Structure 1
């Protein structure tokens, strides 16, 4: 429900903040006082078309803000998640700014969204009905959904079974179409993948191979440099004549003869000994490497050729041997899947025909239960219309099979409401019924039935009672109140009967402040409600009789409410 509404610099409203409660609230006042401006503000908050014309003269922008109770709707929760809007599961705050430049900024819980998405969110929060507006009930494409909502659990299970079979049909159909579509391109791709798979397999790549080959190439390419360095080093360390090893050995022997004379001599002697043995070990290593050196020019060519092959494979299939092998696994799997699907094409086409037959069979069951529920809904609507003094109305829910045996996720049929309010006249689509008092009563009858199932938290009636009076006016008042037992109802009315049954009443009036016109809204207490309803009964002149009549209407409404509660 709508908890709070804040309006700034909107039309002839400079600043206004209203709080609303659950139940039925009426907005009354003189013609032209600005009652519909409040409804316009709610419409803009829920995605209505806005323009700079709404901005109060002299202001740079208008700001609208509404605080709504979070409806218990999983569809809304999913939508908010998709839009990246966080919620505390208790409330939703919507803000909309319209500037003189024409720029619209819409926010839901602080997150900026576009108007199209604001409209999607708003559909879960407010349902506005005006005298000449065609809202959800007046859109034929919504009639099937309303029938299903009325069907409840009795219909839900069969509908879910149909939807499951239909989803399987679409999945198989997609596979068949993908296989049949662009067969030439598919074959060309398979040929290309097979060539790539064969080429990678022929290369016999091994993880870590490239690094080892580069190391080997460096050795083979620098053979002479390595041989010369090893030979010179060995000659210096342990060559014939005056070698480094001989000199250090001489020094070691000399120091051994005096190391017992001083601890420092002993330390020096040990250091020289260590150096001697290390150098002796290095001499052995040098000798071994020199003996193992062998120049294989053919091997160098082999390594170079192998590295070039790896470079070409990296250029085609990946930046490393690891990624090339991963790609090979990927295309091998795709080739295997293609072979599998190719063998199943005929099988899939047969399965598609079988699944289509299952869809039709399930659709016929769905049609049967829907027609059963439609009869029940027709009776309920006629009952409501009778209470609104339209007892001669004929209401019919018509099923039209989709052409050429087609079907959709909703079933095999289109559903539309037909009506005639005049005996002897042919039934016509509800969406083509002329607006006026009769249309208002038809809409109220439908809304009374559907208000429970639609789950919309706030329903707004903008002068839907125009053109009626007397007992019809009282019947309309009772219907609106019945709707408010399931949803919050905000109603602009000129009928005292409707105003009297409301739980709350706000009075809207114009004031001249600083030579400028402003709309003001105030909540009426019981005494003020009597005076306002008396004005609605008699016009500008309020008499003792109209005061008594107003009190009587309020007392009757109170008794009616107590009757509903009991």
Structure 2
């Protein structure tokens, strides 16, 4: 969950630091105090689209930072962080985003710089933000099938995994067949090209590490004079009369004579004797090197020509000789395939037919499971809507592709996720036809439908923090109470932040934060205050009656709080 939020120089906020708790946190306050600005800041923190207009007037940079505590190591954020090379210690994840007046953003996750796109990937595993008119995940028909699969959990996951394993094989065979079925002229051109390339590589008769060995030999020939002079000087310094080896021989002989007279000298004699024989071997090796040393301009010319040939091949076929050889082997296989094109097409068609038959069996299994869980989901959503006083609303998970014939030859319907195309449909008024969920226009109805869906799917999505931004707009009375209870139910065992103008929702809060704006030194600023019981009564009273708060209003607020405490004891049981 989001435990700490820090905002600096963002809109009318100069500096704000808020500690957040588990459960339901309600944010309330006068219109324009900055409630939605705080939600906007969180939205940007998890990768939302930013703008220089968010930066407080007169400042050059806005800073937003949030600390998330995720103790469950199976949470999706751990896998995503691992993929990005981000370390998570003690379950703490710190997201930070700095926006400059130039429009640039600097994003960090646990101190590591990331792009906005990567910040968004991390953020979507942590927070789900819902506004009254925003087309969020639940309103996107392209994701409805995925939501159904999440609802079906392990049963659908297992069947889908079996299907996708076969689909991968099917897709590969299909692409190979399409490749062989290309325009004949293109295939001939391709064959001519790779045959030329293969012959060029074969003529070169490359050997692994040949370029390195030739480069070393070239270096040796180019430095012939320096090498010869150094070896000759070394040889003369060590060998001959009055040179190194002779003087070492004198030392060794005298030490051996002394050792015969004094036992203690033997410890000195041995290393000197060893050095003499080692040096003698070294002089012999230097002499061999001098004898073998030869300046061969023709050899140098060959080496340069050969290295040039290898470099030309590298520019065409790979950065190293090994890559060139691998490429040669690959096109050799392709040449063989193209020369025997008809045989391969027949083989692929047979393979494709066999795989497709198995694939469609697995697809049918996935579809049957989806239809089974779609019925369960429909019942659950109908129940949720009933609890939100939408008894006459009809919900349906409608399949558009289920009627597909499994013996049909058309392959267009086969996709990575099966044969199904599914969308949520709904009718809110008796006698009216079912319409796609995304077409629902009424703000109050949309809020309740979204809340009903969220009550179910939040359990299956692994999101740690859910934000409702005035989703209770347009409702009142018993519907408002139902929405309050539903939001509280979603918050059980997780974290929900909710901007609300409804006293019923505020009364259900585990934590109530009051957002206020004040003017200091001619500048407007936003502050956040956690409310204790007395102040909570006053704020709920204000939400009930407006500006004037009477004793009767306070009494109503206290009754609402007491009623909410009783409801909390039964909700979720």
TM-score (norm 1): 0.76
The answer to whether the Cα contact below 8 Å between 2:97 and 2:105 also exists between their aligned partners in 1 is yes
Question: Could you tell which deviates more after superposition, 168-177 or 445-454?
Answer: 168-177
The answer to whether the Cα contact below 8 Å between 1:394 and 1:421 also exists between their aligned partners in 2 is yes
Question: Could you tell which deviates more after superposition, 340-349 or 5-14?
Answer: 340-349
For 1:106 and 1:332, locate their aligned partners in 2 and report how far apart those are by CA, in whole Å.
44
In structure 2, relative to structure 1, the CA distance for the partners of 1:313 and 1:27 (3 Å cut) is same
Please state if 1:548 is matched with 2:555. Answer: yes
Deviation at 1:497, TM superposition (A): 0.7
Alignment partner, residue 104 of structure 1: 105
Alignment partner, residue 337 of structure 1: 333
Please state if 1:6 is matched with 2:6. Answer: yes
Deviation at 1:444, TM superposition (A): 0.6
Please state if 1:187 is matched with 2:191. Answer: yes
For 1:185 and 1:400, locate their aligned partners in 2 and report how far apart those are by CA, in whole Å.
43
For 2:393 and 2:92, locate their aligned partners in 1 and report how far apart those are by CA, in whole Å.
42
In structure 2, relative to structure 1, the CA distance for the partners of 1:189 and 1:81 (3 Å cut) is farther
For 1:539 and 1:2, locate their aligned partners in 2 and report how far apart those are by CA, in whole Å.
32
Deviation at 1:524, TM superposition (A): 0.7
Alignment partner, residue 316 of structure 1: 309
Alignment partner, residue 66 of structure 1: 66
Deviation at 1:327, TM superposition (A): 7.9
Could you list the runs of 5+ residues in structure 1 that have no partner in the other structure?
Answer: 218-262, 264-288, 290-302
Please state if 1:133 is matched with 2:134. Answer: yes
Please state if 1:515 is matched with 2:508. Answer: no
Question: Could you tell which deviates more after superposition, 441-450 or 74-83?
Answer: 74-83
In structure 2, relative to structure 1, the CA distance for the partners of 1:180 and 1:311 (3 Å cut) is farther
Deviation at 1:5, TM superposition (A): 0.7
In structure 2, relative to structure 1, the CA distance for the partners of 1:314 and 1:210 (3 Å cut) is closer
The answer to whether the Cα contact below 8 Å between 2:519 and 2:525 also exists between their aligned partners in 1 is yes
Q: How does 1:73-112 map to 2 (within 5 A)?
A: 75-88=76-89, 90-112=91-113
Deviation at 1:475, TM superposition (A): 0.4
Deviation at 1:368, TM superposition (A): 1.4
For 1:193 and 1:40, locate their aligned partners in 2 and report how far apart those are by CA, in whole Å.
58
Alignment partner, residue 242 of structure 1: none
Query: Which of 411, 416, 427 is matched with 1:420 structurally?
Result: 427
The answer to whether the Cα contact below 8 Å between 1:313 and 1:324 also exists between their aligned partners in 2 is no
The answer to whether the Cα contact below 8 Å between 1:317 and 1:327 also exists between their aligned partners in 2 is no
In structure 2, relative to structure 1, the CA distance for the partners of 1:52 and 1:309 (3 Å cut) is closer
Structure having the higher Rg: 1
Deviation at 1:488, TM superposition (A): 0.6
> How big is each residue's C-alpha offset from its partner over 1:426-450, in whole Å with a ceiling of 9 and x where there is no partner?
1110001014111111011000000
Query: Which of 469, 472, 484 is matched with 2:476 structurally?
Result: 469
Aligned-partner SS, 1:97: strand
Aligned-partner SS, 1:368: helix
For 2:542 and 2:44, locate their aligned partners in 1 and report how far apart those are by CA, in whole Å.
31
Aligned-partner SS, 1:390: coil
For 1:186 and 1:100, locate their aligned partners in 2 and report how far apart those are by CA, in whole Å.
53
The answer to whether the Cα contact below 8 Å between 2:485 and 2:571 also exists between their aligned partners in 1 is no
For 1:560 and 1:207, locate their aligned partners in 2 and report how far apart those are by CA, in whole Å.
81
Please state if 1:411 is matched with 2:415. Answer: no
Please state if 1:500 is matched with 2:507. Answer: yes
Deviation at 1:186, TM superposition (A): 3.7
Alignment partner, residue 381 of structure 1: 381
Please state if 1:454 is matched with 2:447. Answer: no
In structure 2, relative to structure 1, the CA distance for the partners of 1:93 and 1:157 (3 Å cut) is same
Aligned-partner SS, 2:400: strand
For 1:202 and 1:524, locate their aligned partners in 2 and report how far apart those are by CA, in whole Å.
79
The answer to whether the Cα contact below 8 Å between 1:451 and 1:487 also exists between their aligned partners in 2 is no
Query: Which of 482, 485, 492 is matched with 1:478 structurally?
Result: 485
Q: Which contiguous aligned blocks of 4+ residues in structure 1 show a shift greater than 6 angstroms?
A: 206-211, 303-311, 323-328
The answer to whether the Cα contact below 8 Å between 2:492 and 2:572 also exists between their aligned partners in 1 is no
The answer to whether the Cα contact below 8 Å between 1:7 and 1:16 also exists between their aligned partners in 2 is yes
Alignment partner, residue 124 of structure 1: 125
The answer to whether the Cα contact below 8 Å between 2:23 and 2:510 also exists between their aligned partners in 1 is yes
> How big is each residue's C-alpha offset from its partner over 1:64-108, in whole Å with a ceiling of 9 and x where there is no partner?
111112375565334334444333261221111222222222222
Aligned-partner SS, 1:149: helix
In structure 2, relative to structure 1, the CA distance for the partners of 1:304 and 1:335 (3 Å cut) is farther
Deviation at 1:369, TM superposition (A): 1.2
In structure 2, relative to structure 1, the CA distance for the partners of 1:160 and 1:513 (3 Å cut) is same
Deviation at 1:44, TM superposition (A): 1.1
Alignment partner, residue 234 of structure 1: none
For 1:326 and 1:141, locate their aligned partners in 2 and report how far apart those are by CA, in whole Å.
46
Alignment partner, residue 164 of structure 1: 165
Alignment partner, residue 151 of structure 2: 150
Deviation at 1:533, TM superposition (A): 1.1
Aligned-partner SS, 1:413: coil
Alignment partner, residue 525 of structure 1: 532
For 2:321 and 2:142, locate their aligned partners in 1 and report how far apart those are by CA, in whole Å.
54
> How big is each residue's C-alpha offset from its partner over 1:403-437, in whole Å with a ceiling of 9 and x where there is no partner?
96422111112111000100001111000101411
For 2:93 and 2:37, locate their aligned partners in 1 and report how far apart those are by CA, in whole Å.
22
Could you list the runs of 5+ residues in structure 2 that have no partner in the other structure?
Answer: 222-256, 258-290, 314-318, 405-409
The answer to whether the Cα contact below 8 Å between 1:317 and 1:324 also exists between their aligned partners in 2 is no
Q: How many residues of Structure 1 are paired with residues of Structure 2 in the alignment?
A: 476
TM-score (norm 2): 0.75
Alignment partner, residue 38 of structure 2: 38
Deviation at 1:493, TM superposition (A): 0.6
The answer to whether the Cα contact below 8 Å between 1:24 and 1:502 also exists between their aligned partners in 2 is yes
Deviation at 1:530, TM superposition (A): 1.5
In structure 2, relative to structure 1, the CA distance for the partners of 1:207 and 1:430 (3 Å cut) is closer
Cα RMSD of the aligned pairs, angstroms, is: 3.4
> How big is each residue's C-alpha offset from its partner over 1:202-254, in whole Å with a ceiling of 9 and x where there is no partner?
99xx999999x99xx9xxxxxxxxxxxxxxxxxxxxxxxxxxxxxxxxxxxxx
Alignment partner, residue 390 of structure 1: 390
Deviation at 1:51, TM superposition (A): 1.5
Aligned-partner SS, 1:88: coil
For 1:376 and 1:324, locate their aligned partners in 2 and report how far apart those are by CA, in whole Å.
59
Aligned-partner SS, 1:563: coil
For 1:194 and 1:156, locate their aligned partners in 2 and report how far apart those are by CA, in whole Å.
46
The answer to whether the Cα contact below 8 Å between 1:46 and 1:118 also exists between their aligned partners in 2 is yes
